């Protein structure tokens, strides 16, 4: 379907109100940051439509004026039932924002068309999205991208196709609003290694034994370590911190976690939102990356990176949340010595 008319190109003072949708998790929303900034450069207002798992990240994105939160039954990992009243309420909230245009940002395995239908019902006059499915009259811009490109570039390419461009000095890296809250009272001076425990999908977590052994090796070598985790992962974080690390599990909100990672020399993590948050504050990442999703699309973007994990296992690109291969060999084959070497390489680079 060809683009019938451009959405962007007007100057910010009298430009459009644009709704940008990214309905999934923390990392997904952070990766949408370059696209949001491109839109914000010429839009009068940017309204971000985000799911409950990504709304806090949306409030940290430069260029976002307002966040509308809604849990999409076709996107969320623990989906609610489809509810007529909830759909009607979303349409009313969108209508109240009076957007002139909308960009629906998705991953390769997600369809933008359910949301496009709802936005049409809410009266949005112009909608663009990446879509492999025939959209009929649901989209004004049906954009196509190659498979496997970095998610940030996938979303930015849609914004560009709609007529929005980053500023001349904007290299398209991830970013968060600053200033960040000062967390030195929790961590002490910067320069430590952060180890993040947990991930939304078990297959993408940093293995607990590897986290414990890596932390023990680093602290034995005189490297300060800070362990971060959600409140749900407090028990695992406590086990990792026993080697002498500072345990911050459940003690920071998202802006505070961003500051903890900003002052870290390196982050060690699985494929999880805080790895993208580290990229957004330009902290190097040692990424223990399970191949259930392609690293070309989902590895931390725009920061120095060491990618560890066997990307050739038969679980590759299955999007499995639970590892389908006994023993989780893609990550359990990595040793603490390999992680420590990667950490030291990145610390020396920095």
User: Half-sphere exposure of 47 toward its Cβ, with a 13 Å CA cutoff?
Assistant: 19
Q: Which CATH architecture has domain 184-349?
A: 3-Layer(aba) Sandwich (3.40)
With a cut of 50, say whether residue 1 has pLDDT above it: no
Instruction: For 35-79, write each residue's pLDDT tens digit.
Output: 999 999 999 999 999 999 999 999 999 999 999 999 999 999 899
Model confidence at 268: pLDDT above 70: yes
Residue 215 · residue 227 · CB < 8 Å: yes
Query: Is a pLDDT exceeding 70 seen at residue 13?
Result: no
**pLDDT at residue 313 above 80?**
yes
pLDDT for the residue numbered 12: 41
Of residues 146, 163, 243, the one with CA closest to residue 195: 243
Is the CATH number of domain 17-161 3.40.50.2000?
A: yes
- The answer to whether the peptide bond before residue 66 is cis (omega within 30 degrees of 0) is no
Q: With cut-offs at 50, 70 and 90, classify the pLDDT of residue 177.
A: very high
- The reported pLDDT for the residue numbered 14 is 58
Give CA–CA dist 154/104, Å, rounded: 12
Q: pTM of the entire structure?
A: 0.94
Radius of gyration of the chain measured on its C-alpha atoms: 21
Cβ density class 250-279: b for 16+ within 10 Å, e for less: ebbebbbbbbbbbbbbbbbbbbbbbbbbbb
Residue 28, Cβ neighbours under 10 Å: how many? Answer: 25
> DSSP class of residue 291?
T
Lowest mean pLDDT among 136-145, 167-176, 200-209, 277-286: 200-209
Q: With cut-offs at 50, 70 and 90, classify the pLDDT of residue 133.
A: very high
Q: How many CB atoms lie within 10 A of CB 84?
A: 7
Tokens 């039954």, residue located: 73
Residue 234 has pLDDT above 80, yes or no: yes
Annotated domain spans of the chain: 17-161, 184-349
| pLDDT over threshold 80, residue 246 | yes
Q: What is the mean pLDDT of the chain?
A: 93
9: alpha, beta or left? (left if phi > 0; alpha if psi -120 to 50)? left
Angle at 272 between CA 270 and CA 276, to 5 degrees: 110
> What pLDDT does 2 receive?
33
Pick the range with the lowest mean pLDDT from 106-120, 185-199, 265-279, 317-331: 317-331
One fold for both 17-161 and 184-349? yes
- Do 16 and 162 touch, CB atoms closer than 8 A? no
Give the pLDDT confidence score for residue 5 in this predicted structure. Answer: 44
Report the half-sphere exposure of 326 (CA within 13 A, side-chain side). 0
């Amino acid at each position: 379907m060809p683009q019938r008319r451009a959405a962007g190109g007007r100057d910010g003072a009298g430009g459009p109100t644009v709704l940008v949708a990214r309905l999934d998790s923390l990392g997904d929303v952070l990766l949408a940051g370059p696209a949001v900034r491109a839109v914000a450069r010429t839009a009068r207002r940017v309204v971000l439509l985000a799911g409950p798992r990504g709304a806090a990240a949306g409030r940290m994105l430069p260029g976002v004026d307002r966040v509308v939160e809604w849990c999409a039954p076709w996107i969320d990992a623990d989906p609610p039932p489809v509810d007529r009243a909830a759909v009607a309420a979303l349409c009313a909230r969108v209508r109240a924002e009076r957007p002139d245009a909308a960009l629906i940002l998705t991953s390769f395995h997600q369809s933008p068309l359910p949301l496009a239908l709802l936005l049409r019902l809410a009266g949005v006059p112009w909608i663009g999205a990446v879509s492999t499915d025939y959209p009929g009259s649901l989209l004004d811009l049906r954009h196509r991208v190659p498979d496997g490109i970095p998610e940030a570039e996938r979303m930015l390419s849609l914004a560009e196709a709609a007529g929005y461009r980053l500023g001349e000095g904007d290299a398209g890296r991830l970013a968060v609003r600053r200033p960040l809250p000062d967390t030195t009272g929790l961590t002490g001076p910067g320069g430590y290694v952060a180890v993040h425990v947990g991930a939304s999908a078990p297959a993408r977590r940093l293995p607990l034994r590897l986290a414990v052994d890596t932390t023990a090796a680093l602290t034995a070598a005189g490297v300060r370590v800070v362990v971060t985790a959600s409140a749900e992962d407090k028990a695992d974080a406590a086990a990792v911190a026993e080697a002498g690390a500072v345990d911050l599990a459940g003690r920071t909100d998202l802006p505070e976690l961003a500051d903890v990672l900003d002052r870290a020399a390196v982050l060690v993590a699985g494929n999880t939102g805080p790895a993208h948050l580290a990229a957004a504050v330009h902290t190097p990442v040692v990424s223990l990356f399970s191949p259930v999703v392609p690293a070309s699309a989902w590895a931390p973007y725009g920061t120095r990176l060491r990618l560890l994990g066997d990307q050739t296992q038969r679980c590759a690109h299955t999007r499995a949340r639970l590892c389908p291969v006994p023993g989780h060999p893609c990550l359990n084959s990595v040793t603490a010595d390999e992680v420590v070497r990667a950490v030291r390489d990145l610390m020396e680079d920095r």
